[in-house]
Structure 1
Amino acid sequence: MDITRTLPEECIAKIISGTSPRDACRLSLVSRAFEAAATSNFVWERFLPPDYQEIISSSSSSSASLNMLTKKNLYFHLCDNSILIGNSNNTSFQIDKLSGKKCLMLAARELSIIWGAGDTPYYWNWISSTQSPVLPKSRFSEVAHLRSVCWLEIKGRIETKILSPKTKYGAYFIYSMENGCYGFQTPVKVSIRLENEVEGGDAINAYLNPRIWSGTHDQQQSNEELLQINQQDGRLPIRREDMWMEIEIGEFFNGSQVDNHGAVEMCLKEVQVLNGKSGLVVHGIELRPKEES
């Protein structure tokens, strides 16, 4: 029996809205009736975050132009394009294409960087991301550039209520290394903890400079080569499609809205060896959903 002849489009759309964005795209190929239902605003509004209107209205992008899009086009626009939100434009928002969950990134200006406030330019300075000919393209107007420190400590904090509930998240430090960087042969320590948890936050080794593994400073290894290296001693970075490097800080589960975790705190530091360090460029810290294993 052809259910498209017995069920109205609204019923088919309600059924499809209980699936996933991927399933909706597949079901749109079944028939014209399924295509009409699977591309409807009703279905794709269900896949958008519940507070998407509030997020868009807080964006520096034109909320009027975004609201003119169909809900399906808006969904994929927010998957493929990050938008800056908040009063300071130092947080970016995007949607995970497979799940519709929120992805958020804190700019370097939103992080707590020891000696990096700008009043001690001998240690850190802030450079325009649009004027640098060598840096990858940034989402934000400026990035933090490490000139010279011995004590490296960078922290980020974000309220869990603005993330998607019932979601496993990974937190990633996004950065670049200048030619001539030094002091990163020693691993840094990365840790993450939910604010209301007594336990957690165990520090793990992370090697920011992948070139230390190659035996030469003028040869950049590929992601595949890095993944083949023995990682028992610590985490290694990968190069992203946008040409920034990322290294995982850790992961956490964001429960329901009533769990009241408060905030998640992320930390990257090297405060033991205290050797001179230079050449690190900080883009920010990104939080995005991880697939459940």
Structure 2
Amino acid sequence: MQEYWVDESGFNYFAVYARNLGIIWSSEQRYWHWLPLNDSSSEADIVIASLQNVCWLEVEGKLDASHLSPGVTYEVAFLVMMRDSSNGWYEPVTLSLMYLGGDKQEHKVSLNDNNLKNKWSELLVGTFLTSKDIQGDIEFLMFQHGSHWKHGLVIRGAVIRPAKGG
């Protein structure tokens, strides 16, 4: 499921929910569980992806850039939560953004952070400026190709929105 709306400034804003992200092994119940979102602000059709146990994490999404407002700086962020019981996150995950013209941004972030425990948090992937002739896809990725088994990550989705202050 993907949701679209226009913010108070008149710019396009998108949410790509977990079911529309490419999550490796997400169809295998021994690795991932799909659960209804249970919070007071949730829409009825939203499901979240709850990681059971993997050693190879890969979550990717994309959006046709023609849906974005031209001449606007956008940011992409994953919406995640770490359960209290999370474990195995010894190495940081890599967040990557590929956008118009083949430009790429990449950085690492630790999920072993107490600020991510039991609350929805945003992992900023990157920012980019749209042009008047927007064509192609914006692609974003969160991955860790490590040897440690890990669990406890919950993914709600990703947002593509006008950058705060930009």
State if a TM-score over 0.5 links the two structures.
yes
Q: Deviations over 1:184-218 (max 9, x none)?
A: 23210001011x524x324211122322xxxxxxx
Larger CA Rg, structure 1 vs 2? 1
Q: Distance in 1 between matches of 2:106 and 2:40?
A: 29
Q: How many residues were matched structurally?
A: 164
Matched, 1:197 2:101: yes
Q: Distance in 2 between matches of 1:157 and 1:138?
A: 23
State the shift of 1:179 in Å: 1.5
Q: What is the aligned counterpart of 2:7 among 93, 96, 101?
A: 96
Partner of 1:288: 161
State the shift of 1:127 in Å: 0.9
The percentage of counterpart residues that share the same residue type is 28
Q: Distance in 1 between matches of 2:122 and 2:77?
A: 6
Q: Gaps spanning 5+ residues in structure 1: where? A: 1-89, 212-220, 222-236
Q: Distance in 2 between matches of 1:96 and 1:208?
A: 30
Q: What is the aligned counterpart of 1:276 among 125, 149, 155?
A: 149
- Secondary structure of 1:277's aligned partner: strand
State the shift of 1:252 in Å: 1.1
Partner of 2:30: 122
Map 1:1-293; keep pairs closer than 5 Å.
90-97=1-8, 99-116=9-26, 118=27, 120-130=28-38, 137-139=41-43, 140-194=45-99, 196-198=100-102, 200-211=103-114, 221=115, 243-256=119-132, 258-260=133-135, 262-271=136-145, 273-290=146-163, 291-292=165-166
- Secondary structure of 1:274's aligned partner: strand
Q: TM-score, normalised on structure 1?
A: 0.52
Assess, with a 3 A threshold, how the Cα gap between structure 1 residues 266 and 285 changes in structure 2: closer, same or farther: same
Q: Distance in 1 between matches of 2:156 and 2:30?
A: 19
Assess, with a 3 A threshold, how the Cα gap between structure 1 residues 255 and 179 changes in structure 2: closer, same or farther: same
Q: TM-score, normalised on structure 2?
A: 0.89
- Secondary structure of 1:203's aligned partner: strand
CA RMSD of aligned residues (A): 2.1
Q: Gaps spanning 5+ residues in structure 2: where? A: none
Kindly indicate which of the two structures has a greater share of residues assigned to helix. Answer: 1
Q: Distance in 1 between matches of 2:37 and 2:124?
A: 23
On the 8 A contact 1:208/1:247 being kept in 2, the answer is no
Higher relative contact order (CA 8 A, sep 6+): 2
Q: Which runs of 4 or more aligned residues in structure 1 lie more than 2 Å from their structure 2 counterparts after TM superposition?
A: 93-97, 135-141, 200-203
- Secondary structure of 2:66's aligned partner: helix
Kindly indicate which of the two structures has a greater share of residues assigned to strand. Answer: 2
Q: Distance in 2 between matches of 1:251 and 1:183?
A: 29
Q: Distance in 2 between matches of 1:126 and 1:289?
A: 29
Q: Deviations over 1:22-67 (max 9, x none)?
A: xxxxxxxxxxxxxxxxxxxxxxxxxxxxxxxxxxxxxxxxxxxxxx
State the shift of 1:136 in Å: 7.1
State the shift of 1:95 in Å: 2.9
